[in-house]
Amino acid sequence: MKTIKALLVSALLVLAGTVSAQSFSITFADVNVENGAGKLVASMTKDMTVAGWQMFLYLPEGVEIAQVYDEDEEEYVADITLSSTFHKAKHSCSVKKTADGAMMLICSGGTETVALKSATEGELCTIGLKVADGVTSQAVAVKNVAVSDDQGVQSNQADTTFQLIVGSTGIVNIENDAVNSGVYYNLAGQKVSNAQKGVLIQNGKKVVVK
């Protein structure tokens, strides 16, 4: 079982490195929720050697990181799957809730000095989400995203968001004569103002209004 000390060591290894202006980005795909569950996929936009990374997920009420049973640890752990490019035997992910309610995810080797394998452009990790009844589609904030390379150089990126999409798109509920009218509908098929932010339906297609 991971101890608080081990978690703090992992955090320090990710955060203590020299800050770099190195260009990189982690993107987060929108999450489609079905039967109370969804998968958040985080991806790298360039090749780089990664020793550890962190992100803060500001999940809305009713949404949490799912738990799965780990037979090796003989306990339930956060449902986080690393890309196959990573050295899973030496590195793992930890989750801790911060004082402001964010879920802090840290992937590190703890006291290991060996870096993860090079993270190629593409999938970084997949995070399972559990979504309660009554949760509606909305934007979810991701903050404090940082990556450290094998030389201890840390790269940060601007805060971002992904869309949590719950239930039907609502297109089937829109009258045919209104589909191409240019008006906006929410994901429940209800007519809304075009000033409303989020994922909307216009002319039969999903659009994101920021």
61-80: per-residue pLDDT in tens? Answer: 999 999 998 887 788 989 99
**What whole-number distance in Å separates Cα of residue 66 and Cα of residue 95?**
11
pTM of the complete model: 0.66
Answer whether residue 183 shows pLDDT above 90.
no
At residue 99 the predicted structure's pLDDT band, cuts being 50, 70 and 90, is very high
Average pLDDT over residues 108-135: 70
Question: Helix %, strand %, coil % for the chain, to 5?
Answer: 10, 50, 45
**What whole-number distance in Å separates Cα of residue 93 and Cα of residue 53?**
9
pLDDT at 128: 95
How many structural domains are present in the chain? 2
Whether 158 and 180 map to the same domain: the answer is: no
Q: Are 85 and 137 in contact (CB under 8 A)?
A: no
pLDDT at 137: 92
Give the residue numbers spanning the domain of 43. Answer: 4-166
Whether 153 and 175 map to the same domain: the answer is: no
Whether 60 and 108 map to the same domain: the answer is: yes
| Of 67, 158, 55, residue with least CA distance to 103 | 55
pLDDT at 15: 45
Say what percent of the chain tops pLDDT 90: 32
Average pLDDT over residues 117-139: 81
Whether 125 and 180 map to the same domain: the answer is: no
pLDDT at 72: 78
Whether 116 and 188 map to the same domain: the answer is: no
Q: Which two tokens stand for residue 38?
A: 């969804």
Question: Pick the residue with more confidence: 128 or 149?
Answer: 128
**What whole-number distance in Å separates Cα of residue 40 and Cα of residue 79?**
11
Whether 91 and 182 map to the same domain: the answer is: no
Average pLDDT over residues 108-137: 71
Whether 195 and 96 map to the same domain: the answer is: no
User: Tell me: the pLDDT tens digits for 129-177?
Assistant: 999 999 999 999 999 998 887 777 788 889 999 999 997 544 434 444 4
Average pLDDT over residues 96-109: 90
Q: Is 89 left (phi over 0), alpha (psi -120 to 50) or beta?
A: alpha
Q: Are 43 and 120 in contact (CB under 8 A)?
A: no
Question: Pick the residue with more confidence: 56 or 49?
Answer: 56
**What whole-number distance in Å separates Cα of residue 149 and Cα of residue 14?**
9
Dihedral angle computed from the Cα positions of residues 45, 46, 51 and 56, in that order, rounded to the nearest 10 degrees:
-20
Whether 156 and 178 map to the same domain: the answer is: no
* Pairing, β 138-148 against β 75-78: unpaired
Whether 102 and 188 map to the same domain: the answer is: no
pLDDT at 113: 41
pLDDT at 90: 57
Average pLDDT over residues 180-189: 64
pLDDT at 143: 95
**What whole-number distance in Å separates Cα of residue 4 and Cα of residue 9?**
9
